[in-house]
Structure 1
Amino acid sequence: MALKIGDRVPDFTSKTSTNSNFDSRDIIGQKVAVIYFYPKDNTAVCTAQACSFRDQYQDFKDLGAEVIGISADSIASHEEFAARHALPFVLLSDSDKKIKTLFGVPSALFGLLPGRVTYVVDKNGYIVLIFNSVLGNNHIVKALKAVKNLVS
């Protein structure tokens, strides 16, 4: 079952693009978080989306929020993607799709592509925004507005 607005984000762990261990409890429930699921490293829309989050990252940080990108790509792919585009936020490898399943992220284009969904989570760990769109750049605008609303 898919998570919805008002649900608490369940705990999860993963490996980051630097092969470090990631435990969601270190961020979720501690500060505002933007968790975005995207289909694939180094594709046109995903790269544009990641670079838009990169370009607005300081705005998120200034508001006390952390950005987390998640896809099924390998740690090595994430490492190269993050380095190539100077991504300052954490990328998580969900190669077994456990996190995607935990959130209930739907597939796009009749199940042919992994979904592109952004979640904004308040500092208590509850979802306040779910934005599902294949258009990558719209995610940043929606997420930043939701984060601003949380802290104002």
Structure 2
Amino acid sequence: MAVTLDQPVADFSALATGGQAVSLAALKGRKVVLYFYPKDNTPGCTTQGQGFRDAYAAFQAAGAEVFGVSRDGIKSHENFKAKQGFPFALISDPDETLCQLFGVIKLKKLYGKEYLGVDRSTFLIDEQGVLRREWRGVKVPGHVDEVLAAAQQL
């Protein structure tokens, strides 16, 4: 069952960089930004992550924690995070638990071949664990600014 706007998000626990387990329950009292992206070290995903990195202090000032989520493994995430200097954790979702919860797996086409992939999407969860905003089919330019403005207004 995918998340619904203005409804509580089911608690989850997932492994992230730095050996930490991230759970929604442990983040109560903080806003949470989850951005889903297709693959570590690809051009669009790198640009997107850099945008969140560069605005991280502003997200923190707005009381928001930022997490990147993809199906890549922890080792890939650790390398991507270190290479790009990301100050936030990257969540590994190889079994697509979070991808399914947020409904971000969709049929995509590349070079005429169809496959199931991650639809670049971002979700803003309030301090009580309620989904307040969602952006699906995200285009990278200007996106981080839009998410930051929403977090600041929440």
For 1:36 and 1:3, how far apart are their aligned partners in 2?
14
Instruction: Tell me the TM-score normalized by structure 1.
Output: 0.91
Aligned position for 2:152: 148
1:90-125 deviations in Å (ceiling 9; x for gaps): 110000001111122242635633111100111111
Aligned position for 1:93: 92
For 2:143 and 2:78, how far apart are their aligned partners in 1?
22
More displaced 10-residue stretch of structure 1: 93-102 or 132-141 = 132-141
Instruction: Tell me the TM-score normalized by structure 2.
Output: 0.90
Aligned position for 1:30: 29
Percent identity (aligned): 36
For 1:116 and 1:102, how far apart are their aligned partners in 2?
15
Amino acid at match of 1:2: A
Question: What are the ranges of 5 or more consecutive residues in structure 2 without an aligned counterpart?
Answer: none
More displaced 10-residue stretch of structure 1: 12-21 or 124-133 = 12-21
Task: Give yes or no for contact 2:99–2:118 (8 Å, CA) kept in 1.
Answer: no
Report SS of the residue matched to 1:61: helix
Amino acid at match of 1:70: V
Aligned residues: 149
Question: How far does residue 5 in structure 1 lie from its aligned partner after superposition?
Answer: 1.3
For 1:94 and 1:109, how far apart are their aligned partners in 2?
19
Question: What are the ranges of 5 or more consecutive residues in structure 1 without an aligned counterpart?
Answer: none
What value does the CA root-mean-square deviation take over the aligned residues?
Answer: 1.5
Question: How far does residue 46 in structure 1 lie from its aligned partner after superposition?
Answer: 0.2
Q: Does 1:121 align with 2:125?
A: yes
Task: Give yes or no for contact 1:108–1:134 (8 Å, CA) kept in 2.
Answer: no
Aligned position for 1:69: 68
Question: How far does residue 24 in structure 1 lie from its aligned partner after superposition?
Answer: 2.1
Report SS of the residue matched to 2:108: coil
Amino acid at match of 2:92: S
Aligned position for 1:78: 77
1:47-102 deviations in Å (ceiling 9; x for gaps): 00000000000000011111011100000000000000000011100000011111
Aligned position for 1:107: 106
Task: Give yes or no for contact 1:72–1:96 (8 Å, CA) kept in 2.
Answer: yes
More strand per residue: 2
Task: Give yes or no for contact 1:131–1:142 (8 Å, CA) kept in 2.
Answer: no
For 1:15 and 1:125, how far apart are their aligned partners in 2?
19
Task: Give yes or no for contact 1:72–1:95 (8 Å, CA) kept in 2.
Answer: yes
